[in-house]
Amino acid sequence: MSTDPHTLERVLPDLHSEDVIDDEGPYVVILYNDDYHEMMEVVAQLQKATGYDFNRCVQIMWEAHTRGRAIAYTGSQDDCERAASVLRQIRLQVETDKF
* pTM for the structure as a whole: 0.75
Q: Could you give all domains of the chain from N- to C-terminal order, each with its CATH number?
A: 27-98 (3.30.1390.10)
Give residue-wise pLDDT tens across range 14-63. Answer: 555 554 445 566 999 999 999 899 999 999 999 999 999 999 999 999 99
Looking at residue 68, its pLDDT comes to 98
Contact 43, 54 (CB under 8 A): yes
At 15 the pLDDT is 55
d(CA 48, CA 57): 10
With bands split at pLDDT 50, 70 and 90, how would you rate the model's confidence at 67?
A: very high
Is it the case that residue 12 has pLDDT exceeding 90? no
